[in-house]
Amino acid sequence: MSDISTQRHDLSHILAAAVQQLFPEVQLGIGPDTDNGFYYDFAVETPFQPEDLRKIEKAMRKLQSQSIAFEQYNMPVDEAIAFLKESNQDLKVELAEDLKKDGETELSFYKNAGFVDMCKGPHMEHTNQSTKHFMLSSLAGAYWRGDATRQMLQRIYGVAFETKDELEAYKEMMKEAKKRDHRVLGKKLGLFTFSEKVGAGLPLFTQKGTMIRNLIVKEIQDLQKKYGYGMSDVCIPHIAKRDLYECSGHWDKYKDDIFHVRGKGETQFVMKPMNCPHHTQIFAASAHSYRDLPIRMTEVTTNYRDELPGELLGLSRVRSITQDDGHIFCTIDQVKQEANTIVQIIRDFYTKLGMFEEGNYWVSLSVRDSKDLSKYLGDTKNWDTAERMLQEVADENGLNYKRIEGEAAFYGPKLDFMFKDAIGREWQLATIQADFVMPERFELEYTGEDGEKHRPVMVHRAIAGSLERFMSVLIEHFAGAFPAWLAPIQVSLCPVADVHEDYAREVKSELEKNNIRVEILDSRMSLGKRIRTAEMQKIPYMITIGDEEVSAKTVSVRSYADKSQEALTLEAFLLLLV
C-alpha cells in the first residue's frame, strides 16, 4: 500500500471518529481507501444531510491537528466479539463472527483517542501525518455488504490528494463535470428518457439519441469491413436456458445478477446477460476445418443485468446493456493476428473521436492474480500462452500499457483500453480478451491440417463496449456539442423571413441529397429565438438565409465550435461538410 493510500485509509478512520463524536448512536460499517480518496458506511436513524458534511469535515480537521496516535493491538476473537457487542456495534459483530468462521483466532484493532475500529491496517503513526488536502465530497446509499436484501446504509465519500494543486484541479474537474452531466444534457438535447412505468435502469432513446447510437454502430461496422470483417453479423435471441450459462461457467459467477424468465413449461429461462455462450452454439452447429478459421461473429444486441437500484446512474449504469460484441474462433497461431487487427480498429475509431492520443489513453494488460489462481478457470499452460500473446500484441503495436495483476476475466486475460475524456476523467471502454476456457467447456472443435480434432481459441472483442455507457461518456466528453459526423442534426437552416423559405427548402433538398442531416427552424418563432434554439441544441452549423443569400445563391454559415461566420457557396459548404 503506497503512502498516500495509507493516508487515505487514515482519513476514513478520522471520518468515522468525527461522525461518532457528532452522532454518538451511529453504527459503523466499513471504511476503505479508494483510488482518489476514501469512504465510510454508517447506519443512522436520521439520514445525514449535505450540510452535515461541513460539520463533519471541521471535526476531522480538528482531530488531525491534535496529532493523536494510531495504536494497533490484537484481541482474541471471542473477546473481540464480546467487546463489539458491548459497544453496540452490530455490523462489526457480524464481520467479526464471519472472520471467526473463517478460522481467525484473533482480530486486529486500531485506537486513536476514544475511537476504536476493527482493522488490519496499516496506518500512519499519528493523525496529523495524513494529508491535509482532502474534502468530503458526497453522500450516497449503500446496501450492507452489497446485498440488496440487507439494510441501506449511508456512505460518506471523501477525496484526498498529496498536494493542494491536485485537490484544486479535482474541484475544477467536478465543476466542469456538473456542467457536462449526461443526464442533464441528455434531457436538454432530447436524446433519451426514463419512465417509471417502464422501470429504473431501462433507458428509452428518442429519434435523435437513436441516430447517435446508429452512427456509432455504423462507424464501427465500416471500420471492421476495412479489416476483413465481411459477412460477420449474427443474430441471437434475448433469452436462453439456464443450462447454457451453467455450461459456460457464468452461472456460478453471476447468478445473482441474472433476470429469470417464467415460461409455461418447467424449463428455466433467463434474460441473456452476455452473448458469448450463444455464439459458441452457432460455431458448434457446423463442422469446421482449419481452412475455415478464423470465423468471426459480430452483433449489436441488448443484454440484461439485475443491477442494484442504488447503483443505477443515468446511462452509465443500466439494466439493459447494448453491446457492440464480437467473437472470433481461430487457431492458436491466429490469435495474435486477430488481436492486432482489433487493435487497429480500436485505434482508428478512437482517433476519429480525438481520444487515441499520447497521454490520453493507456492499456491494462489484465492478467491473473498470482496469489489466488483458484478464481480462474482453465489450464495454466493456456493462461500462460494467452498472457504472453497479449503482451506481445501490446509491444508490437507500441501501446502504452501496464501489466495489472488480478484484473483478468475468470476465463482469460485481456487488454482493457482506458481513455481520458476532455476533463481528464478515465474510462475503460474497448477490450480484447483471449479465451481458452469456453471452447473447452462447450467442447468446440475443428479438424486440423493433421486430420485430428483441435480446440479453437475464442477471442472476445468490444470497440465501444456498452452503447449506453459509451454514449454517457461521449455526451460528457463533447459537452453535448458532437462533431458534425456524430451530431443527430448537422445543419439548422434559419430563413430570416417567409420570403426566404423557398430558397431554404432548396438548400435543404440539396443537402439531403448529399446525406446531410438538416432541419429548417420553425419560422413562427422570432429570428432571435430560432438562433438561440440552434445554439442551445449545439447544432454544428447554422445557416442564416436572408435577401443577400437568396440573391447571390450563397449561404451564411455559423460554426458552433468556433463561433466563426462566413458566406459560402452551397458547393463550398458541402465540401466543408463531406
Catalytic residue among 250, 454, 460, 500: 460
Q: Could you please report the per-residue DSSP string of 179-248?
A: HH-HHHHHHHTT-EE--TTT-TT--EE-HHHHHHHHHHHHHHHHHHHHTT--S-B----SEEEHHHHHHH
From CA 428, how far away is CA 419, in angstroms rounded? Answer: 6
Range 209-215 contact pairs with CB under 8 angstroms and sequence separation of 24 or more: 209/471, 209/488, 211/488, 211/517, 212/471, 212/474, 212/482, 212/486, 212/488, 213/322, 213/467, 213/471, 215/485, 215/486
CB contact at 8 A, 13 and 115: yes
463-495: burial string, b at 16+ Cβ within 10 Å, e else: bbbbbbbbbbbbbbbbbbebebebbbbbbbbbb
> What pTM, to 2 d.p., does this model score?
0.84
The secondary element (H helix, E strand) that includes residue 106 is: strand 106-112
Helix 50-65 vs helix 3-22: angle between axes, to the nearest 10 degrees? 110
Catalytic residue among 52, 154, 155, 276: 276
Give the pLDDT of residue 143.
84
Beta pairing class for 541-545 and 554-559: antiparallel
Q: Where does 3-172 sit in CATH, by number?
A: 3.30.980.10
- Residue 220's nearest CA partner among 57, 342, 376 is 342
Catalytic residue among 154, 323, 490, 537: 323
* CATH topology classification for 491-577: Rossmann fold (3.40.50)
The secondary element (H helix, E strand) that includes residue 541 is: strand 541-545
Give the pLDDT of residue 146.
79
User: What are the sequence ranges of the domains in the chain?
Assistant: 3-172, 192-477, 491-577
CB neighbourhood size of 188 (10 A): 13
Q: Where does 192-477 sit in CATH, by number?
A: 3.30.930.10
35 is catalytic: no
147 is catalytic: no
User: Which position has the grid cell 452522532?
Assistant: 23
Q: Do domains 3-172 and 491-577 have the same CATH topology?
A: no
Q: Report in angstroms the alpha-carbon separations of 483 from 241, 368, 548.
A: 43, 39, 29
460 is catalytic: yes
61 is catalytic: no
Catalytic residue among 155, 272, 278, 327: 327
Catalytic residue among 305, 317, 368, 469: 305
371 is catalytic: no
End-to-end alpha carbon distance in the chain = 53
Catalytic residue among 33, 52, 117, 325: 325
CB neighbourhood size of 3 (10 A): 11
Helix 467-477 vs helix 164-180: angle between axes, to the nearest 10 degrees? 110
Backbone angles phi, psi at 412, to 5 degrees: 175, 160
Backbone angles phi, psi at 417, to 5 degrees: -90, 120
Give the pLDDT of residue 485.
95
Mean pLDDT by 10 residues, the chain (578 residues): 85 96 93 94 92 96 94 95 94 95 94 90 93 94 82 94 95 91 95 96 97 97 92 94 91 87 86 95 97 96 89 92 96 93 96 90 92 81 89 95 89 92 90 92 95 95 95 95 95 91 93 94 81 90 92 92 88 87
Give the pLDDT of residue 101.
93
Give the pLDDT of residue 160.
97
From CA 528, how far away is CA 319, in angstroms rounded? Answer: 42
From CA 7, how far away is CA 15, in angstroms rounded? Answer: 12
User: Which position has the grid cell 439485475?
Assistant: 306
From CA 269, how far away is CA 267, in angstroms rounded? Answer: 6
Catalytic residue among 123, 414, 461, 477: 414
Q: Report in angstroms the alpha-carbon separations of 357 from 350, 362, 452.
A: 9, 10, 46
7 is catalytic: no
Beta pairing class for 115-118 and 106-112: antiparallel
From CA 57, how far away is CA 38, in angstroms rounded? Answer: 13
278 is catalytic: no
User: Which position has the grid cell 486477430?
Assistant: 338
